[in-house]
């Protein structure tokens, strides 16, 4: 059977920037082995496989594979999937429910600035307690940081909206861009703490409309560095609100994050956090532009 494969750059309007994702829009009948093999061949940080719905509570089922393993959900590949579905069906806007490893989520596509933009409502917000000092120091060292690089306002711990990341706030963008982490050491720590991704971020932005600059490393799942990460910047929004690191209105906090600069793949993620009456983050949505690089048919 022929499969339709899209290569789509997410969180950008420009080809060859942002985060590339593979999307297979007709994955029904594909085996795990076939999906993993195609994801490895495309060698994007994630490839999304779209299946028909299996129940009435969703419209599509999406599975996500890195080059080495399946993951529950992926922000940029979901943005890319929403855009691919709009291309497949020749629609200028869509609103649909997807079943993922993080639950039933919703995605919408609409035109923004004469270019398609996708919204993804992410999964349950989970913020874990900060790590003990011994683990914290090992993470700092494995990332190639010194203790005085770390922003003490930012507790080092896990945040999740479906696929967890460890949050590490630092002072300087120049220090961020110079990081050369010990990937093997990060893999060992990931196994111990059961979290695959490390999101290093700073408020030291040089762009007026950008609050956060970041880099994300996940060597334990075959992603040494991810260009632009929806499942890092989304939970980061909840983390910033919960730790009172930002000012916000009574019920909402919005910001833009930039990522991918050191990889030559700069992209931008818009984040919206809903906040309850007690100041706790309750739901996160991410927004991103997308652009098609190519599509092709492949026989598997």
Q: Is the dihedral of CA 223, 166, 118, 27 positive or negative?
A: positive
Active site annotation includes 250: no
Residue 97: Cβ-neighbour burial (10 angstroms; 0-12, 13-18, 19+): middle
* DSSP 8-state code for residue 203: S
Cα–Cα distance, 111 to 169 (Å, whole number): 34
Cα–Cα distance, 167 to 73 (Å, whole number): 18
Residue closest to 239 by CA, chosen among 280, 206, 276: 280
Residues 159, 165 contacting (CB under 8 angstroms): yes
Q: How far is CA 58 from CA 62, 90, 107, in A?
A: 10, 21, 11
Take residue 33 and report the two structure tokens written for it: 């082995």
Residue 68: Cβ-neighbour burial (10 angstroms; 0-12, 13-18, 19+): middle
* Strand locations in the chain (E): 2-10, 19-24, 46-52, 60-65, 70-71, 94-100, 103-112, 115-121, 126-127, 157-160, 165-170, 197-202, 212-218, 223-226, 252-259, 267-275, 281-299
User: Bridge partners of 283?
Assistant: 274
Catalytic one of 46, 119, 225, 261: 46
Backbone angles phi, psi at 207, to 5 degrees: -115, 130
Cα–Cα distance, 120 to 97 (Å, whole number): 10
Active site residues: 46
């Amino acid at each position: 059977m022929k499969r339709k494969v899209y290569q789509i750059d997410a969180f950008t309007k420009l080809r060859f920037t942002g985060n590339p994702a593979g999307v297979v829009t007709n994955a029904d009948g594909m085996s795990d082995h076939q999906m993993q093999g195609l994801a490895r061949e495309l060698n994007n940080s994630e490839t999304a496989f779209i299946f028909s719905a299996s129940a009435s509570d969703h419209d599509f089922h999406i599975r996500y594979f890195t080059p080495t393993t399946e993951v529950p959900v992926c922000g940029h590949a979901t943005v890319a999937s929403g855009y691919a579905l709009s291309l497949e069906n020749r629609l200028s806007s869509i609103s649909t429910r997807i079943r993922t490893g993080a639950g039933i989520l919703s995605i919408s596509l609409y035109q923004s600035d004469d270019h398609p933009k996708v919204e993804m409502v992410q999964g349950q917000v989970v913020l874990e307690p900060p790590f003990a000092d011994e683990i914290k120091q090992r993470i700092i060292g494995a990332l190639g940081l010194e203790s005085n690089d770390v922003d003490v306002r930012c507790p080092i711990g896990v945040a999740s909206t479906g696929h967890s990341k460890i949050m590490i706030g630092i002072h300087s963008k120049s220090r961020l861009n110079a990081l050369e982490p010990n990937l093997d050491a990060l893999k060992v720590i990931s196994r111990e703490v059961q979290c695959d991704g490390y999101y290093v971020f700073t408020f030291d932005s040089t762009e007026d409309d950008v609050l956060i600059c970041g880099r994300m490393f996940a060597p334990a799942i075959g992603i040494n560095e991810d260009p632009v990460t929806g499942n890092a910047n989304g939970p980061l929004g909840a983390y910033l609100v919960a730790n009172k690191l930002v000012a916000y209105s009574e019920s909402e906090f919005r910001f833009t994050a930039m990522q991918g600069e050191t990889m030559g793949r700069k992209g931008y993620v818009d984040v919206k956090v809903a906040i309850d009456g007690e100041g706790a983050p309750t739901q996160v949505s991410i927004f991103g532009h997308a652009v098609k690089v190519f599509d092709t048919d492949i026989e598997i």
